[in-house]
Amino acid sequence: MTKRVKFQDMLASLRCSLEAIPEHRTGRNMRYEIVDAGLGAFSVFFLQSPSFLAYQQQMRQCQGQDNAKSLFGIEEIPSDGQIRNLLDPVDPSLLREPFWDIYHLLQASGHLDDYHHVGRTLLCSLDGTRHFASEKIHCANCTAYAYEERTYYAHTVLAAVLSAPEHEHVIALAPEFITPQDGHDKQDCEQQAIKRWVKRNAEHFPEWGVTILTDDLHSHQPLCELLLEHKFHFILTCKPESHPALYEEIGLLTKVKGAVQTMSVRRWTGHHYEQWTYRWVGQVPLRAGADALRANWCEVTIVREDTGKQSYHTAWITSHELTAQTVADVAAAGRARWKVENETFNVLKNQGYYFEHNYGHGQQYLSVVLLTLLFLAFLFHTVLHLSCLMYQAVRRALGARRNFFNDLRALTRYFYFSNWDEMIAFMFQKLKLDTG
């Protein structure tokens, strides 16, 4: 039986982290608190309303009350410029804790139960993406890239999300920001970031309770050894060109009767039949040499029966045992890695969060602090969708995501609500909905 995770409890965690940020100002201008700047930026991302704070300042002047304070607890409403100045020196690592507080709230309330998959583990996808790039604007924390005699500067983040094949929602965990010291190409940068993420966050999970999913870029022995050391399972994409020794071994085993197991399943898609063919083998070397780590390997090939054309093929290495009973689950878990791109990066970049927009770059940490708050806004909405029946009903009734946020922007501009629950209940009642 699941319990509701309340907006106020999540916001309390964010407020606690913001209040713990050390004061960095030395001058006399102390009117605005860092906590108000952080909550102000968060409110803009949560409502997808760039003008929210300006509208609430007007409401406060006209009505003596406003939604900035009632919904988000903002005492003094800072301007955009003041928010940038206050947040620029803030170390983004100080905002990691709310992600884990919310993760533990979901765990305690039973909402993670449906996310357990292969081997009763949670599936955690790790993937990097760029969230800022410019040839002119840069700071000390930008990574510089040389390209055709030009230099451009970028910020890149390693995102971590929990997903499940049958769930449309992903649960964002604390991200890891890539630094200039990590390297100058995608491979070096992301690999260093993944190492930090694993070492820092393993303590949040039960031993062998999580399966890490990555693309082929990270499918190599050092990462596998690190994951096993920290009691993580793994399912990592495995391509022939990056694993020559492994595929040479599989080629030799293919000639031995029964060494490579095969299973075919016929499936109806709702439009046509497909043949899903699984092949798997245990304990093959990840690389050449006597010190090679051995892992299990599987692949799935999907062919449409009506056309005879292959529609999908991918292979993985895994720490999970492979049998006729488990191989389909392992393959389904491996395929769930795409959710970090489709259900995370795609939503953040194209569904109103404007992930790649330069909200303010600053000279120190502003860009990554704002992105952390944006990730938290995305996480808050995910948790509300998983946990609140009225929120679910409103989202269903309004259809497209943009309709929901258009309504949030309009309501908070013209009407005062004493808290978030009152506002979502107002929408629920005016739409004449029920939770059945």
Q: What is the pLDDT of residues 198-234, one digit of tens each?
A: 999 999 999 999 999 999 989 999 999 999 999 999 9
264 and 411: one domain?
no
Task: Say if residues 305 and 274 touch (Cβ distance below 8 Å).
Answer: yes
**Predicted local confidence at residue 424, as pLDDT:** 97
Give me the mean pLDDT over the 240-251 stretch.
96
CATH of the domain at 218: 3.90.350.10
Pick the closest to residue 190 from 125, 235, 129 (CA basis). 129
- 240 and 367 fall within a common domain: no
Q: Is the pLDDT of residue 73 over 70?
A: yes
b/e string for 15-44 if b means 16 or more Cβ within 10 A?
Answer: bebbeebeeeeeeeeeebbbbbbbbbbbbb
The position carrying tokens 């492979």 is 322
Q: What is the pLDDT of residues 272-283, one digit of tens each?
A: 999 999 999 999
Same-domain check for residues 51 and 126: no
Query: What single letter denotes the amino acid at residue 96?
Result: R
CB 394 within 8 A of CB 424: yes
State residue 166's pLDDT score: 84
Q: 300, 324, 346: which is the final residue of a domain?
A: 346
Q: Give domain status of residue 57, yes or no.
A: yes
Which DSSP string do the residues of 114-181 spell out, in sequence order? Answer: GGB-GGGPEEEEEEEEEEEEESS---TTSEEEEETTEEEEEEEEEEEEEE-TT-S--EE---EEE-GG
Q: Which residues contact 321 (CB under 8 A, 6 or more apart)?
A: 282, 296
Q: What is the dihedral of CA 157, 163, 165, 166, to 10 degrees?
A: -130
pLDDT reading at 193 higher than 70: yes
Whether 11 shows a pLDDT value over 80: the answer reads yes
One domain, residues 330 and 203: yes
Digit-coded pLDDT (tens) for 299-333: 999 999 999 999 999 999 999 999 999 999 999 99
Residue 353 resides in a domain:
no
CA distance 172 to 375: 7
* pLDDT at residue 279, as a whole number: 98
In a domain, 436, yes or no: no
Give the gyration radius of the chain's Cα atoms: 24
- Domain shared by 173 and 208, yes or no: yes
DSSP E strands: which ranges in 166-304?
171-172, 176-178, 210-214, 233-237, 261-268, 273-285, 294-304
Q: What is the mean pLDDT of residues 50-79?
A: 96
Does residue 62 sit in helix, strand or coil? helix
**Cβ(65)–Cβ(415) below 8 Å:** no
In terms of average pLDDT, the best of 21-25, 108-112, 144-148, 335-339 is 108-112
In whole angstroms, give the CA distance from residue 266 to residue 280: 18
Query: Can you tell me whether residue 388 is helix, strand or coil?
Result: coil
260 in the same domain as 184: yes
131, 208: one domain: yes
Owning domain of residue 138? 112-346
**How many Cβ atoms are within 10 Å of 57's Cβ, its own excluded?**
15
Evaluate whether residue 107 is within a structural domain: no
Q: In this model, does residue 188 exceed pLDDT 80?
A: no
Mean pLDDT of the chain: 91
Q: Give pLDDT, residue 146.
A: 77
Indicate if the pLDDT at residue 292 is higher than 60.
yes
Greatest alpha-carbon span in the chain: 82
Residue 326 lies in a domain: yes
> What CA–CA distance (Å, rounded) separates 122 from 115?
6
Domain count, the chain: 2
Share in percent of the chain as helix, strand, coil (round to 5): 45, 20, 35
Q: 51 pLDDT exceeds 80? A: yes
How far apart (Å, rounded) are the C-alpha atoms in residues 262 and 123? 25
**Are residues 241 and 125 both part of a single domain?**
yes
Separation CA 77–CA 89 (nearest Å): 19
**71 lies in a domain?**
yes
Minimum mean pLDDT range among 108-117, 195-204, 260-269, 358-367: 358-367
- Does residue 101 fall inside a structural domain? no
Which of the listed residues 346, 371, 387 is the one where a domain comes to its end?
Answer: 346
Give the Cα separation of 212 and 162 in Å (integer).
9
Asked if residue 272 is part of any domain, the answer here is yes
Domain boundary pick from 315, 346, 377:
346
SS3 351: coil
Residues 148 and 66 in one domain: no
Shared-domain flag, residues 205 and 341:
yes
Q: Do the Cβ atoms of 237 and 334 come closer than 8 Å? A: yes
Identify which has the larger pLDDT, 301 or 149. Answer: 301
340 shares its domain with 362: no
Q: Are 199 and 159 contained in the same domain?
A: yes
DSSP type of residue 203: G
